[in-house]
Structure formats: structure tokens, C-alpha cells
């Protein structure tokens, strides 16, 4: 049965192509495959292929340019003769020095510091290093302990970090500086 339908089979794909081209919103396609003068269809085909080729050329050029990782750095340096010492913020994530915390502090703010639970027991002892855990157990031993008055302001002043202990090295414009050059 194939032999008899060959002529019809050759025309069928062409009519499908024309049906697609006539309903396509891609500009130019409907003019290339329309019924009419061969010269007009050839010109539309040439314009379409030229535009498609130009599109592919520009896309390829842009991709190649992107892959070269181009960058432009412009730097203007101006040397100032007299600069004031800049404002610097030094932030320690450990708000309090554990070595300065007393048993009375532990009693009053141990839960607030997440060192003790609500029953005055050590929270998560498995997370502490052995030396720290021993010091924590000693400070959290409230057997025969009588709490004294507590001041949060005094606690902050006593257990807070001292810049002189934290500042290991400082220089500004070639001259040395120390904790006395900073203010709180």
C-alpha cells in the first residue's frame, strides 16, 4: 500500500508545514511558506535566515564575552595629611568573663546566662570542656550557700571585658596606640 500513496504522502508534510507557518506568530514565517510568487518567498526566507543568523552571532559573541570574565577597577587614592583616630567598635560575643563570675552571680543570673536551668542545675554539661565543667560545678554548688544582694550594674562592670586585656596590637598611621586611645 505504500507505493500508491507516495505522491500524497509527499504533499501532506508540506501542507502541515504551511498550516504551521500560517498560524505562527513568528514574524516572516507565514510569508516564507505562503502561496504566491517564488521571488517574494525567497526574499522573506533570506531576510528571516539573515536575522536568525545575526541573532545567533550576537548571542554567541555575548556568551564569549561573558566567559572572559571582564572587569574594570578604578581606584583613586588621596592621601590626607591629618586624620583623626577613627571610631572603632570591638564586639566580643562572650558578654561576660566566666573567670570573674562568682557563686552569688551564678545564683542570681545563672539561668539568664543559660548556664543553669530553673532547678539550679548545670544546663548541658556534656557540651562543656572538663576544666570549664569543673569550675562551673564549683560555682553552681549552692549547698550551705546564703545568697547576698545582687546588682546587675555592678555585675556588668565587674564581669565585662577589659579592652586592655583584649587589645593585643594597635597602630595608626605608623604610630602605636593602646587601650587609652579608646573610649567607651
99 pLDDT more than 50: yes
37-42: list long-range contacts, CB under 8 Å, 24+ apart.
Answer: none
**How far apart, in whole angstroms, are the C-alpha atoms of residue 152 and residue 109?**
9
Going by the DSSP 8-state scheme, the letter that residue 162 receives in this structure is P
Tell me, yes or no, if the pTM score tops 0.85: no
Q: pLDDT tens across 30-54, in order?
A: 777 777 788 888 888 898 899 999 9
Indicate the fold that domain 98-181 takes in CATH: acid-sensing ion channel 1 fold (1.10.3590)
Cα–Cα nearest to 92, from 19, 38, 161, 171: 161
Of the ranges 1-10, 45-54, 103-112, which one carries the lowest mean pLDDT score?
1-10
Going by the DSSP 8-state scheme, the letter that residue 87 receives in this structure is P
**How far apart, in whole angstroms, are the C-alpha atoms of residue 44 and residue 50?**
10
Residue ranges matching CATH 1.10.3590.10 in the chain: 98-181
**How far apart, in whole angstroms, are the C-alpha atoms of residue 33 and residue 18?**
6
Mean pLDDT of 81-110: 84
25 pLDDT more than 80: no
Among the residues of the chain, which ranges form H helices?
6-23, 29-32, 38-67, 103-109, 130-139, 152-159, 163-166
Q: Are 15 and 33 in contact (CB under 8 A)?
A: no
Q: pLDDT tens across 138-171, in order?
A: 888 888 889 899 999 999 888 888 888 888 898 8
Amino acid at each position: 500500500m505504500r507505493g500508491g500513496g507516495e505522491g500524497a504522502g509527499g504533499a501532506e508534510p508540506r501542507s502541515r508545514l504551511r498550516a504551521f507557518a500560517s498560524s505562527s506568530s513568528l514574524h516572516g514565517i507565514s510569508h516564507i511558506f505562503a502561496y504566491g510568487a517564488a521571488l517574494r518567498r525567497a526574499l522573506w526566507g533570506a531576510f528571516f535566515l539573515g536575522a536568525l543568523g545575526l541573532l545567533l552571532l550576537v548571542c554567541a559573541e555575548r556568551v564569549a564575552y561573558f566567559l572572559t570574565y571582564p572587569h574594570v577597577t578604578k581606584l583613586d587614592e588621596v592621601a590626607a595629611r591629618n586624620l583623626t583616630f577613627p571610631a572603632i567598635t570591638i564586639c566580643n560575643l562572650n558578654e561576660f568573663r566566666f573567670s570573674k563570675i562568682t557563686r552569688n552571680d551564678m545564683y542570681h543570673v545563672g539561668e539568664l546566662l543559660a548556664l543553669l536551668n530553673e532547678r539550679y542545675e548545670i544546663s548541658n554539661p556534656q557540651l562543656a570542656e572538663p576544666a570549664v565543667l569543673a569550675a562551673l560545678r564549683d560555682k553552681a554548688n549552692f549547698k550551705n550557700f546564703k545568697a547576698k544582694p545582687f546588682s546587675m550594674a555592678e555585675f556588668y562592670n565587674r564581669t565585662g571585658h577589659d579592652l586592655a586585656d583584649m587589645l593585643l596590637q594597635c597602630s595608626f598611621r605608623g604610630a602605636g596606640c593602646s587601650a587609652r586611645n579608646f573610649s567607651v
